[in-house]
Structure 1
Amino acid sequence: MRALFLNSLYDPHIGGGAEIILQQTVEGLQKRGMDVMVLATGPEKGLRLDRVNGVPVYRAGLSNLYWHHTQERPGRFTRLAWHIVDRYNARMRRYVREVIARECPDIVICHNLSGWSVSAWDEVKAADLPIVQVLHDMYLLCPRSTMFNQGKTCPQRCGQCQTLRQPHPQASQQVDAVIGVSRFLLDKLTANGYFGLATSHVIYNCSVVPKPTFRCERLPNAPLRFGYMGTLSDNKGVAWLIEEFQAQKGMHAMLYIAGRGQLDYVAHLKRLADPSRVRFIGYQSPQTFYSAIDVAVVPSRWAEPFGMVAVEACAHGVPVIATRMGGLSEIIQDRFNGLLCSPAQPESLGVALRTLHDDKPLRERLAYQARSSVSALLGQDRMLDEYETIIRQTVAKRKARA
């Protein structure tokens, strides 16, 4: 079995959780004996081959106005022009064609298509190969991948999104199998006319988190430690979190914010924050971060496709305050491993913060139940078993039809 994995980015270029899960999957399947290779975009022209932990990784120079993995935010019209090109970027097909010719895979597993566009599907089908599409976000519905605009989740697609995604549902009928990282995400795409001829599956992402052996215990009379880890962006609700946290007067607590984001937005967040109560600590490993906080907060204002940070927090025995958005409610159960709130009721986040600050028995009960609540998501073998089964079944079906 030879499998080609196609994604927007690959290590060391990490845009988010999709790249981490992809790398775990690729390296895990390779250890099981599958011949794997990766094709991703890169900042340099042409097609280059290197190896990451023994995996062949092709990097194709992106044929668009700029490479999208950058902290510098281009202007509005430049971004729009980029998305117009990305509606169907025929120039990227040549890289798919060349790698297929070199590697002769039996199947292509597509992950994030940003940069490649759905033209990649056409090139794979031109080679008469089966396609598995893994959904990590809402790129196929919205060029920004979020369906989030002007500070709120879009109830339906705007005219611009519909125009830039008009041919995509029909193109998706070429896909043989589709995998959503949450039931929410899979249902969202299929309800919009995608993947009508594909077999449908949900595979929850896994996180390999050993049972914590060390914890920085809070000293007596020390502030309660709330923490946010993730991308610093508007749709992630970081500004909302800062405002609601600072609105809780008399609360003996600190808020620690770990992560990176666009430079101008991070500067905006720092202007909002009271440095005596809110600290920005940059990139942190999950082990370091979750061992040093008491409550994790995932205040997403958009429909989060899954929410691996919520899984990792629970795996470290940390209760989670999360929003009822997207796949998060498939992880966090209200008053079992955390509390749920809603961006539609902004004060609900402040209520949740205050509740876990004031109610120590509740906080301790949620922490005690947190790890067991996500135990099914902590085993990499489960995730690899499911991916391997779908890949092999899809290839077998294609061969049977041939």
Structure 2
Amino acid sequence: MKILIANTLYYPDMVGGAEISTQILAEGLVAAGVEVCVVCATGSGSDRVSELNGVKIYHLRFANLYWPHQPKKRSPLAKLVWHAIDVHNVLMARKIKKIVAREKPDLISTSNLSCLSIGIWRMANESGVPIVHTVRDYYLMCPTSKMLSHNKSCEQQCAMCARYAGPKRTASQRVDAVIGVSQFVLQKHIDNGFFAGASSTGVISDCYLPMKSATSNATPAIYNGGAVRLGVLGRISPEKGIEVLLDALLSDSSLEWSLSIGGTGDAAYLAELKARYTDPRVRFLGHVVPAAFLQSIDILVVPSKWNEPFGRVTVEAYSYGVPVVGANTGGIPEVIEPDSYLIFDINQPHTVIDKITEAIELLNNSGIRKRLLDYAETFSPDAMVGAYLDLYNAALKAASRRAPAVASVSTP
């Protein structure tokens, strides 16, 4: 089997979870005996080919007004033109067409396609190559990929986004099988008319990162009462709900706690948070090593206000035996360990205190750490790769059944 994977970024251009998951998938497939090549965009240098851990990587120099992964503000007009080009990026489509013709993959697996081209679906369809697409964000529905306005999730597409999404919705009908990293993000697309031609749909969750820290074999300190060590880990931005958590904690007198906040974000927003929340129990740590951070806390809190498609940090915490209290937004409830179900209502912030209290009670259960570690295994890299292998094989079998039979010709 030969798989071509297309994703906006790939190592060493790493921005978020999509790139991490794509690399784990590609290298896991290679380890399983699959031939894999990856097509990605890059903001530097020229078109080039590299190889890493058995994966052949086509780095395609982007063809648009600017590279969007640079922290620089753009004018509304520049953004409008950029997205207009990105919808049907003819120059990138031509590059990808040559790669598809050269590699002749048995199946094409697409993910984030910003900076590349949705034209890859047409090419695959015309060549009779089955297409599997993974929905990791809202790129097909919203120019920002977040469906977020004024730090609040959009419950439905606005008129501008609906126009933007029209060509992508039409193109998505060519996809044979579609996967969501959560049922929430998958259903959001299906409800808006995407992937109507897909013969199969399903959910394959992203996985946690294997332990790589020097302290990865260390056992976290066991909670023995007193102030509970809470933690928030990830990018610090308004939609992540840190203020919701802080306000709830500071207005409550029933808990003893400390809160460590690991991560970076916009400098002005960080300065505003530090000036507003000066309580000595709150510590802003900046960039941290996730393994060491997760081993230093008792409970992780994920208070996102926006509809996160998945939230890898939750399963990472479970892989260290750490309970997670999460908001009832996006795909987060699907990932929270079902037996504990530590989910609070983001529209009733005081409920986070109730769930933290329940989590503290869990900490007193001697079997909780093993239970969470066992649950984390359902999100292991091997589990994710195995699920994709099953899906790819099923898609190839379905494609072979659809292919027209070739009549045999006897020679006299």
TM-score, length-scaled by structure 1: 0.89
Paired residue secondary structure (2:342): strand
The 8 Å contact of residues 311 and 377 in structure 1, kept in 2 or not, is answered as no
Q: Which residue of 1 aligns with 2:307?
A: 303
Question: Which range moves more in the overlay, 25-34 or 324-333?
Answer: 324-333
Q: Which residue of 1 aligns with 2:340?
A: 337
Distance 2:76 2:258 in 1: 36
Post-superposition shift, 1:288? 1.1
Match of 1:313 among 312, 317, 327: 317
- Render the CA deviation track for 1:2-54: whole Å, top value 9, x for unaligned: 11110011122222212111111110110111110111111125411122233
* Corresponding pairs, count: 398
State whether structure 2 residue 42 is matched by structure 1 residue 32.
Answer: no
Post-superposition shift, 1:370? 5.0
Unaligned runs of 5+ in 2: 405-412
The 8 Å contact of residues 134 and 179 in structure 2, kept in 1 or not, is answered as yes
Distance 1:13 1:205, change over 3 A: same
Q: Which residue of 2 aligns with 1:284?
A: 288
- Render the CA deviation track for 1:251-286: whole Å, top value 9, x for unaligned: 542221222334444444444432733223233333
The 8 Å contact of residues 3 and 105 in structure 1, kept in 2 or not, is answered as yes
- Render the CA deviation track for 1:307-326: whole Å, top value 9, x for unaligned: 22111212212111101112
Distance 1:271 1:95 in 2: 50
Q: Which residue of 1 aligns with 2:372?
A: 371
Q: Please give the residue correspondences for 1:3-402 in structure 2 after superposition, counting only pairs within 5 Å.
A: 3-44=3-44, 46-198=46-198, 199-207=200-208, 213-217=217-221, 223-248=227-252, 251-274=255-278, 276-333=280-337, 336-337=339-340, 339-353=342-356, 355=357, 360-365=360-365, 367-368=368-369, 371=372, 374-400=375-401, 401-402=403-404
Post-superposition shift, 1:362? 4.0
The 8 Å contact of residues 40 and 60 in structure 2, kept in 1 or not, is answered as yes
The 8 Å contact of residues 112 and 136 in structure 1, kept in 2 or not, is answered as yes
Post-superposition shift, 1:304? 1.8
Distance 1:220 1:379 in 2: 30
Distance 1:340 1:373, change over 3 A: farther
Q: What amino acid is aligned across from residue 381 of structure 1 in structure 2?
A: D
Rg (Cα) greater in structure: 2
Distance 1:43 1:75, change over 3 A: same
Post-superposition shift, 1:132? 0.8
Q: What amino acid is aligned across from residue 144 of structure 2 in structure 1?
A: R
Unaligned runs of 5+ in 1: none
TM-score, length-scaled by structure 2: 0.87
The 8 Å contact of residues 337 and 369 in structure 1, kept in 2 or not, is answered as no
Distance 2:269 2:130 in 1: 41
Distance 2:178 2:189 in 1: 10
Paired residue secondary structure (1:166): helix
Post-superposition shift, 1:222? 6.9
Q: What amino acid is aligned across from residue 394 of structure 2 in structure 1?
A: Q
